Amino acid sequence: MQRSSRLLLLVLACLSWPAVADNTLRGTHPVVWKDFLGGNAQFQYFSPSVSQKQMDRLDALGLTWVRLAIHWAMIEPTENDLQLDTLDSAMSAMQGRQYSILAYLVGSAPFAAAVPAGAAPSDQYPPKDYNVFAQRMQMLAQRYPQVNTWQVWNEPNIVWLPKEDPDAYDRLLTTTATAIRAAIPDKPVATAGMAYYSQMRSTPGLMLEDLLQDGLGSENLIAAYHPYSELPEGDDATAKDFLVRGNFLNSALHSRGVQQVWATEWGWSSYTSGAREMQAMIGRDGQADYTLRRLALMATMDYQRIFLFNLSDLDARASNRDQSYGLVDLSGEPKPVYNALKYFLDTTGPSLAPADPPPLANAPDDLYSIAWTRPDGSHVWMFWSASGASLQVPGLNAATLHDPLSGSRTDLSAQQGISVPLKPSLQLLVW
């Protein structure tokens, strides 16, 4: 069917405005971190001792949402030979921790994949029979009632072979959602997390726009995508294209009936060797810096839930880059990004309400400024600048400056208003 490209054209039009996004941001709603921020995890692929250590680290952050990957080919390598022991153990452990779980089934089992004659086998081909996939997800939903939300596939806009197919994915989504709801009527269901903003490799437009044309806004489904980019502010920091694209896409989805928009993956790898895999090599310190700046931005936007990728580093089954996205390493030990995130969350407290920033003097043009109020009435100001050296905060005579990357805190005071040093990394001023 001929599809409207109106949303894509509007997105592209917005992206041509380099100054459309403001640096001074205000949240669209209060943020409760344990409800807003979660992490991707693969507990069933680690030994119980390591996965329990990963859960301990998550608990120490005060977070309770987990996104769990389930690969169909791994749980059913041959038809009707279900191998669920490790998944059962992971689900039981998460239930014991009272986690809220988003789980997704991805890939086609070997017996079910629509592999063309003569093509190499791959689980990236969609299933031959969508009802079989839907039956497997229905079975999983019944077996694991502790899962809060089920997500149908992952990144079909870039991984499906031989090419992406919006109509086919829509049929898979609706078939599966119908099957899950037939067994558990009120169970939330989400679209696949679309890579980036749902652009497709060889088809013009956005896959989420295709789903909207097919009625996504009236189907009570959560819309999900993965806003990866080169920098926290976007692929072009000057254009602030993450803010432009994310805000526009979220608004378009909400305005057309989608109630919940989730970013089910985002983050940066800390890899430092081997071939460059799309993302620049920023190392462990860069991963910590980028993650906090992006988290500060996303907290201001109209996402209902976001999931960092990834809780843990991965082993050699993942690509060189993908092995190093974790907050913790393969043994469960914290990386700098974990320590910085914990300092950040400990400093902000469990919840924040949008507020106005303090009055500023001599602020540089590239200053990012985000203000919040804590439940006790104290204030938290998040800020960073790549060009400024310092700025004045007239009327504020005492505050504490926190640097989550170093874990340092400095008490500032002055009779005529404090002077605050600036860095390109995120700092927090609390008073």
- Tens-level pLDDT at each residue, the chain (431 residues): 333 333 433 443 343 333 446 899 999 999 999 999 999 999 999 999 999 999 999 999 999 999 999 999 999 999 999 999 999 999 999 999 999 999 999 999 999 999 999 999 999 999 999 999 999 999 999 999 999 999 999 999 999 999 999 999 999 999 999 999 999 999 999 999 999 999 999 999 999 999 999 999 999 999 999 999 999 999 998 899 999 999 999 999 999 999 999 999 999 999 999 999 999 999 999 999 999 999 999 999 999 999 999 999 999 999 999 999 999 999 999 999 999 999 999 999 999 999 999 999 999 999 999 999 999 999 999 999 999 899 999 989 999 999 999 999 999 999 999 999 999 999 999 99
Residue pointed to by tokens 């086919």: 168
Model pLDDT, residue 2: 31
CATH topology of domain 6-350: TIM Barrel (3.20.20)
Q: Examine domains 6-350 and 356-430 and report if their fold is the same.
A: no
Q: Are strands 31-32 and 351-355 parallel, antiparallel or unpaired?
A: antiparallel
The C-alpha atoms of residue 107 and residue 397 are separated, in whole angstroms, by 58
Q: How far apart are CA 66 and CA 101, in angstroms?
A: 5
Q: Domain-by-domain residue ranges, the chain?
A: 6-350, 356-430
Strand 37-41 and strand 305-308: pairing?
Answer: parallel
Residue 370 has a pLDDT of 98
In angstroms, rounded to a whole number, what is the distance separating the alpha carbons of residues 377 and 371? Answer: 12
Whole-number pLDDT of residue 17:
30
- CA of 429: how far to CAs of 138, 347, 417, in Å? 48, 10, 13
The whole-angstrom separation of Cα 172 and Cα 276 is 34
Contact 364, 422 (CB under 8 A): yes
The number of residues making up the chain comes to: 431
User: In 80-228, where do the E strands start and end?
Assistant: 100-106, 147-152, 189-195, 222-226
pLDDT for residue 22 = 82
Query: Token pair for residue 430?
Result: 């609390």
The pair phi, psi for residue 406, each rounded to 5°, is -95, -15
pLDDT of residue 79: 98
Burial class, 95, CB count within 10 angstroms (exposed 0-12 / middle 13-18 / buried 19+): middle
Residue 178 CB coordination number (10 Å): 14
pLDDT score recorded for residue 251: 96
Which residues does 364 contact at the CB level (< 8 Å), separation at least 6? 385, 387, 388, 391, 422
Q: What is the pLDDT of residue 21?
A: 60
Write the CA distances from 338 to 99, 203, 315, 377, integer angstroms.
Answer: 19, 38, 19, 27
Confidence (pLDDT) at 237:
87
Q: What pLDDT score was predicted for residue 252?
A: 96
Q: What is the CA radius of gyration of the chain?
A: 22
Strand partners, 263: 225, 306
Q: For residue 3, what are its two tokens? A: 């599809």
Q: Are 318 and 324 in contact (CB under 8 A)?
A: no
Tokens of 137: 């997800």
CATH class of domain segment(s) 356-430: mainly beta
Gap between the Cα atoms of 428 and 382, Å rounded: 5
Kind and range of the H or E element at 251?
A: helix 241-255
